Amino acid sequence: EVQMLESGGDLVQPGGSLRLSCAAAGFTLRTYSLNWVRQAPGKGLEWVSGISASGGSKYYAESVKGRFTVSRDNSQNTLALQMNSLRAEDTAIYYCAKGSTVTTTGGYFDLWGRGTLVTVSS
């Protein structure tokens, strides 16, 4: 079965750091762009970051730029999101989503993980 599985969500204090991971099973990620999308409690979907198939192009939402870093390891079939200087407003379920193209735009998100919960609170 093809699937993506996130891990790493936790309760963290404001100003703290957290690293999320996403592992793919049943297929290889190397020919697809990948994305992180989050959903705050009771709110809508917010695209957070995207990375091209090669890893050479990375994009971020303004709300996380300079604090979050996306990376991928195609040899390990994984995606990561390093989150620093966390704020209360970063509290959300974080989903990894597979893109349909090698580039980060022009396609769609056709496979999503179940999500991992990040809570930023003192």
Residues contributing to the site for another protein (CB under 8 A): 35, 37, 44-47, 50, 59-62, 95, 100, 104-110, 112-115
Question: Which CB atom, from 44 or from 122, has the smaller least distance to another protein?
Answer: 44
Question: Which CB atom, from 16 or from 45, has the smaller least distance to another protein?
Answer: 45
Question: Which CB atom, from 16 or from 117, has the smaller least distance to another protein?
Answer: 117
Contact 18, 118 (CB under 8 A): yes
Task: Tell the smallest beta-carbon distance from residue 50 to another protein (Å).
Answer: 6
Q: Is the dihedral of CA 40, 46, 51, 57 positive or negative?
A: negative
Task: Tell the smallest beta-carbon distance from residue 52 to another protein (Å).
Answer: 11
Q: How many CA atoms lie within 13 A of 54 on its CB side?
A: 3
Give the Cβ contact number of residue 13 at 10 Å.
10
